[in-house]
Chains A and B, each alone.
Chain A
């Protein structure tokens, strides 16, 4: 038992997190920054931070992840990081030639009190930011919130720094996809394309973190939202933010600063959430849903119908980020499964309320926790076993110890390849999720059935 040190009885822990179900803000900011074309993320802190973030993102996406660091030393930590950041800006624009530097802070620079707005003002005044190039920042202290907060803060910073309004609203619609895979961002764009809606998607990591092999190493791959598009978000007719926590703040900021009305929806995972997304997009853009999309929806519904008998009241435990879990929980309930343990590492009261509402009618006790950790999740599973686990790679310890089927979903996935190429959003993504769920359950049935019971046709 790898986690033999996890006791079954649950005791309250105040001072201690064991096996985290979250990580810190800066990595989320880095991932969001990579969704801007020609952008080099910059970590204003010591070297370890960005080395860890780059390694973690590389392990998940299997792509080169470029970022720079202020490389804090003891001197910088005593006298402030201004000199380091100014030198970094010089060096970055000279050698790596990005169009834009997206700076995020760290626990270190936040605690010593570096004022990035002031430092960037100085850099601009001194001509360190070349004509036509940009540097902007988000505050992402590691001791507040989680990686999701960091993603949200950087996405909001894109709005705060770039969105402008010329007083005329275009026909375009802003889509903020939240922290999802590059393949999910692609699928969201495809769905909008099917509806014939002109969109700006930000951040957009498609073709940045799921790129082709070209024979060249490119610092700035093809994908990403452009600065011009980011500026233009202020002129869009509306915004659809997917994910209350990851995308909500940016959408609200755009509404406040440029009067772009927004709708904050769930991530379009599962049938209902995708329906709501398509419907919101249709209404906002004043278009009709094309047959092609209805066809996709019909197929997903058909597959659920074929599968529902196998799903009936199967118990599921899921752990991950709040936006993902809310959508997933609704989906699981809709296909007649029972999500009975739902835990996120990110603190968020509304999350607990929402999950309780979604699972209110289940004929089973449901555990919900925000700000929890993997140890508590494991303890729940020990006390009330399930048929299926859904979560990131770290859940594999629990899956092995408790011998429970496991589907990888969320961030990070460190031990499989392919997740960044296939979506789980939209109807197509939903079909893929359904296939994964049923396959996990049936593989288990095949494995566990006796020779006598072993069936060819299931």
Chain B
């Protein structure tokens, strides 16, 4: 397995700590012909916006883009379920030749009449950018006629990477922000950003803040509602997780409304507690917030610590690999795995920037391999070389890990349990433990021979 060749152009996107000077190249477009694990602009926009449950999400393009993104993320809603439907203009050859604007208009009007959504997001796919449909003007027209915000999302797949899709989503949401009333919002208030309520994670985080006496104005975008987004500029602070997807909106809101923001992570005991303390610090004029945060952290950690310790004893010294979408997620995960006594020997992301990778390098031990935009051959090569026993990744990595006889934990769309917060850390430890120590590995050919 050692003999795989690496594309020359990719050499600088792979780094082994301690062996070379650090000159990691990243934020590059994937090479044509490489088997990247990345996706497209549309994918980025779709995952960010789709949890807004009372909005209409209409995909303008051929059917595929709608089919592949129909309710795939498990972003839970406590109320409307409109976001779990899949709406498409299903463009046909005729539309490609004569344009799809009329179809888009008719589809929009039909849907808005039927479902009375509070806003509509219209996603442009590759083809719309090529045939030149003026979706902006269709959106303006329908918005005027129907009296709701109809927002074009410029997410043509080829116009960059998933990151550019996050930006397009933020741009669309920025048009909603500032259009609602802010009366009655507490000065002790915040928006939760970059939390998508997969497996109910946003509910956990919201509850923590509320226990600290803080008002959550809007969650971007887990269990999201249009009206909350409209009045979100009334919040005193933006708290941004998964910085890749929401930093752009946080910065826009900072410029426009002077709302400061903080970057946090809700994963792992260390980062979770830091997030609460950082937020409490922001409200230092109200010292009771910090006091409540301290009580909360103490209570929560005391509740799970004994169980966590038992897992740690079993997991100590096991080797882990991490390959995730955004690099920020990798930082928290490294800390969390270390807190379980595990060693991270391979870490990488699809979309990290050079600052991310510098930070990643500083967190890792010597010998750790760091990869940007890796392909399956690279991931499997280093997993075997490094003796990885747990792989953390997404849908496309799972079967690769299993083929190698390696335990797996999904930290992406297919997580089955909430992994955020203190209860989430316990879930994570349990999932890691169950996968790493599964009796199936005793039969795995790779483990047998080693």
| Residues of A that sit less than 8 Å from B by CB | 1-5, 7, 13-20, 22-24, 26-27, 42, 45-49, 51-56, 58-59, 62-74, 76-77, 84-85, 87-92, 94-96, 106-108, 111-112, 141-144, 146, 211, 213-219, 345, 394, 397
Pull 21 A–B residue pairs with CB atoms less than 8 Å apart, ordered by A.
A4-B81, A15-B102, A16-B106, A17-B90, A47-B38, A47-B39, A53-B68, A54-B396, A63-B399, A64-B396, A65-B396, A69-B33, A71-B32, A72-B126, A73-B160, A74-B160, A87-B33, A91-B33, A96-B35, A112-B130, A216-B445
Q: Within 8 Å of chain A (Cβ to Cβ): is B188? A: no
Could you tell me the distance between the alpha carbons of A397 and B81 in the complex, rounded to whole angstroms? 12
From B5, B42, B43, B127, give the contact of A111 (CB < 8 A): B127
Q: Within 8 Å of chain A (Cβ to Cβ): is B182? A: no
CB contact list, B60-89 vs A, under 8 A: 61-70, 81-82, 84-89
Q: Closest A-chain residue to B90, C-beta based?
A: A17
From B4, B33, B88, give the contact of A88 (CB < 8 A): B33
With A68-B33, A76-B158, A215-B405 already in contact, 4 other A-B pairs whose C-beta atoms are closer than 8 Å: A17-B88, A48-B65, A71-B30, A106-B126
From B6, B81, B95, B103, give the contact of A5 (CB < 8 A): B81
CB contact list, B396-450 vs A, under 8 A: 396, 398-400, 402-405, 444-449
Could you tell me the distance between the alpha carbons of A318 and B36 in the complex, rounded to whole angstroms? 37
Could you tell me the distance between the alpha carbons of A91 and B32 in the complex, rounded to whole angstroms? 8
Q: How far is the CB of B195 from chain A (nearest CB, A)?
A: 22
- The answer on a CB contact under 8 Å between B88 and A58 is no
From B34, B66, B87, B398, give the contact of A91 (CB < 8 A): B34
Contact with A along B18-48 (1 / 0, CB 8 A): 0000000000011111111111111100000
Q: Closest B-chain residue to A113, C-beta based?
A: B130
Q: Within 8 Å of chain A (Cβ to Cβ): is B107? A: yes
A48 — which chain B residues lie within 8 A by C-beta? 39-43, 65, 126, 157
Q: Within 8 Å of chain A (Cβ to Cβ): is B252? A: no
B6 — which chain A residues lie within 8 A by C-beta? 95
From A18, A49, A146, give the contact of B157 (CB < 8 A): A49
Question: Of B108-116, B288-296, B362-370, which stretch is located at the interface?
Answer: B108-116
- The answer on a CB contact under 8 Å between B63 and A142 is yes
Q: Closest A-chain residue to B103, C-beta based?
A: A15
From A17, A51, A65, A108, give the contact of B126 (CB < 8 A): A108
Q: Closest B-chain residue to A141, C-beta based?
A: B93
Q: Within 8 Å of chain A (Cβ to Cβ): is B380? A: yes
A141 — which chain B residues lie within 8 A by C-beta? 93
From A19, A76, A77, A143, give the contact of B70 (CB < 8 A): A19
Could you tell me the distance between the alpha carbons of A92 and B42 in the complex, rounded to whole angstroms? 26
Residue in B107, B111, B127, B398 whose Cβ sees the most chain A Cβ within 10 Å: B127
Given A68-B33, A108-B130, A108-B157; A58-B399 close (CB under 8 Å): yes
B405 — which chain A residues lie within 8 A by C-beta? 213, 215
B92 — which chain A residues lie within 8 A by C-beta? 143-144
- The answer on a CB contact under 8 Å between A14 and B106 is yes
Q: Closest B-chain residue to A13, C-beta based?
A: B110
Q: How far is the CB of A321 from chain B (nearest CB, A)?
A: 13
Q: How far is the CB of A2 from chain B (nearest CB, A)?
A: 6
- The answer on a CB contact under 8 Å between B90 and A107 is no
- The answer on a CB contact under 8 Å between B158 and A72 is yes
Could you tell me the distance between the alpha carbons of A106 and B398 in the complex, rounded to whole angstroms? 27
Q: How far is the CB of A428 from chain B (nearest CB, A)?
A: 27
- The answer on a CB contact under 8 Å between A108 and B89 is no
Q: Within 8 Å of chain A (Cβ to Cβ): is B161? A: yes
- The answer on a CB contact under 8 Å between A5 and B82 is yes
Given A55-B396, A108-B158; A70-B32 close (CB under 8 Å): yes
- The answer on a CB contact under 8 Å between A2 and B130 is no
Could you tell me the distance between the alpha carbons of A146 and B88 in the complex, rounded to whole angstroms? 14
Q: How far is the CB of A393 from chain B (nearest CB, A)?
A: 10
Contact with A along B106-139 (1 / 0, CB 8 A): 1100110011000000000111011100000000
Q: Closest A-chain residue to B58, C-beta based?
A: A16
- The answer on a CB contact under 8 Å between B86 and A20 is yes
- The answer on a CB contact under 8 Å between B161 and A47 is yes
Q: Closest B-chain residue to A211, C-beta based?
A: B403
- The answer on a CB contact under 8 Å between B88 and A73 is no
- The answer on a CB contact under 8 Å between B404 and A74 is no
Given A2-B81, A59-B395; A46-B33 close (CB under 8 Å): no
Q: How far is the CB of A417 from chain B (nearest CB, A)?
A: 11
The 3 tightest CB contacts between A and B, nearest first, are: A48-B40, A24-B64, A215-B446
Q: Closest B-chain residue to A53, C-beta based?
A: B68
- The answer on a CB contact under 8 Å between B89 and A23 is no
Given A16-B106, A217-B376; A46-B395 close (CB under 8 Å): no
- The answer on a CB contact under 8 Å between B96 and A111 is yes
Could you tell me the distance between the alpha carbons of A160 and B445 in the complex, rounded to whole angstroms? 41
Q: How far is the CB of B121 from chain A (nearest CB, A)?
A: 15
Given A62-B399, A74-B158, A216-B446; A18-B86 close (CB under 8 Å): yes
Given A111-B131, A217-B404; A58-B29 close (CB under 8 Å): no
A27 — which chain B residues lie within 8 A by C-beta? 64
- The answer on a CB contact under 8 Å between B36 and A215 is no
- The answer on a CB contact under 8 Å between B63 and A146 is yes
CB contact list, B173-187 vs A, under 8 A: none
From B68, B103, B400, give the contact of A56 (CB < 8 A): B68
From A49, A69, A94, A394, give the contact of B64 (CB < 8 A): A49
Q: Within 8 Å of chain A (Cβ to Cβ): is B91? A: yes
Contact with A along B308-323 (1 / 0, CB 8 A): 0000000000000000
- The answer on a CB contact under 8 Å between A24 and B70 is no
Q: How far is the CB of A87 from chain B (nearest CB, A)?
A: 5
B447 — which chain A residues lie within 8 A by C-beta? 215
Q: How far is the CB of A458 from chain B (nearest CB, A)?
A: 34
Given A2-B81, A64-B403, A67-B35; A91-B158 close (CB under 8 Å): no
- The answer on a CB contact under 8 Å between A214 and B68 is no
- The answer on a CB contact under 8 Å between A49 and B40 is yes
Q: How far is the CB of B98 from chain A (nearest CB, A)?
A: 12
Q: How far is the CB of B407 from chain A (nearest CB, A)?
A: 13
CB contact list, B247-274 vs A, under 8 A: none
- The answer on a CB contact under 8 Å between A20 and B43 is no
From B1, B35, B39, give the contact of A52 (CB < 8 A): B39
CB contact list, B208-254 vs A, under 8 A: none
From B43, B110, B131, give the contact of A51 (CB < 8 A): B43
From A94, A108, A146, A215, give the contact of B404 (CB < 8 A): A215
Q: How far is the CB of A1 from chain B (nearest CB, A)?
A: 8
Given A19-B70, A52-B68; A143-B41 close (CB under 8 Å): no
Q: Closest B-chain residue to A111, C-beta based?
A: B130
- The answer on a CB contact under 8 Å between A91 and B380 is no
- The answer on a CB contact under 8 Å between B85 and A3 is yes
Could you tell me the distance between the alpha carbons of A143 and B81 in the complex, rounded to whole angstroms? 28
- The answer on a CB contact under 8 Å between A77 and B158 is yes
Q: Within 8 Å of chain A (Cβ to Cβ): is B159? A: yes
B304 — which chain A residues lie within 8 A by C-beta? none
Could you tell me the distance between the alpha carbons of A76 and B399 in the complex, rounded to whole angstroms? 32
- The answer on a CB contact under 8 Å between A68 and B66 is no
Could you tell me the distance between the alpha carbons of A20 and B6 in the complex, rounded to whole angstroms? 40
Given A87-B31, A95-B6, A95-B34; A19-B396 close (CB under 8 Å): no
Given A20-B86, A24-B67, A215-B444; A91-B403 close (CB under 8 Å): no
Q: Within 8 Å of chain A (Cβ to Cβ): is B301? A: no
- The answer on a CB contact under 8 Å between B40 and A18 is no
- The answer on a CB contact under 8 Å between B68 and A143 is no
